[in-house]
């Protein structure tokens, strides 16, 4: 029996459907966390609660880095599992959504004054951007090869 993203077990690397389900679930959860963190960050900023703001952004940056590493591993397994074009597209779309959410939060964080003046917000925004750029590399790996010789 194979595991999947919904039951908390490790996906079976021989079954691309399990791997795509895990990639989609992880990307969806990370995207939801990014938007939740963005709301909490905006609220903390509006209320002048710099420590809460910094904690939210740093927590997201760490979580996004971990999730990006997990997605990277899953993509490596997925590529060797002979996925269908539809599965590749589903994984690529999920990764693109995750990437977009991380870039959006990173951009928003850069517009906030650092409450401690120590550059911690900038560092967290840079970590979010690095995760997003790593996701871009993964997303590109899942795209089909261009046909050569066609005009």
Q: Is residue 3 part of a domain?
A: no
Q: Is residue 58 part of a domain?
A: yes
Q: How far is CA 90 from CA 23, 46, 95, 139, in A?
A: 9, 37, 9, 11
Q: Is residue 137 part of a domain?
A: yes
pLDDT (tens digit per residue) in 37-57: 888 888 888 888 878 888 888
Type and span of the H or E element at 114: none
Q: Which pLDDT score is estimated for 4?
A: 47
Which structural domain, as residue segments, surrounds residue 136?
16-141
Q: Which pLDDT score is estimated for 96?
A: 96
**Cα–Cα dist 89/92, whole Å:** 5
Q: Is residue 149 part of a domain?
A: no
Q: Is residue 148 part of a domain?
A: no
Alpha-carbon torsion (44, 35, 61, 29), positive or negative? positive
Instruction: Provide the whole-model pTM.
Output: 0.82
Q: Is residue 118 part of a domain?
A: yes
Percent of the chain with pLDDT over 70: 82
Q: Is residue 6 part of a domain?
A: no
Mean pLDDT of 19-45: 92
- Statement: residue 104 has pLDDT above 90: yes
More confident residue, 2 or 6: 6
> If you ran DSSP here, which 8-state letter would residue 5 be given?
T
- Statement: residue 33 has pLDDT above 90: yes
Tell me the helices (H) and strands (E) count for the chain, helix number first: 4, 0
pLDDT (tens digit per residue) in 119-151: 888 899 999 999 999 999 999 999 876 656 554
Euclidean distance between the first and final Cα of the chain, in Å?
Answer: 47
Q: Is residue 127 part of a domain?
A: yes
Degrees, nearest 5: CA angle 78-135-18: 25
Task: Give the chain's domain count.
Answer: 1
């Amino acid at each position: 029996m194979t595991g999947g993203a919904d039951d908390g077990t490790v996906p079976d690397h021989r079954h691309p459907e399990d791997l795509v389900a895990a990639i989609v679930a992880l990307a969806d959860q990370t995207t939801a966390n990014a938007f939740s963190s963005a709301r909490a960050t905006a609220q903390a900023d509006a209320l002048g609660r710099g420590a809460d703001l910094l904690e939210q952004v740093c927590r997201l940056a760490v979580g996004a880095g971990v999730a990006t590493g997990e997605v990277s591993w899953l993509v490596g397994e997925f590529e060797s599992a002979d996925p269908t074009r539809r599965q590749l597209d589903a994984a690529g779309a999920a990764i693109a959504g995750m990437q977009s959410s991380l870039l959006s939060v990173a951009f928003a964080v850069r517009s906030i004054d650092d409450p401690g003046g120590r550059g911690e917000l900038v560092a967290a925004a840079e970590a979010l951007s690095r995760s997003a750029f790593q996701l871009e590399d993964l997303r590109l790996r899942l795209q089909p090869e261009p046909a050569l010789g066609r005009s």
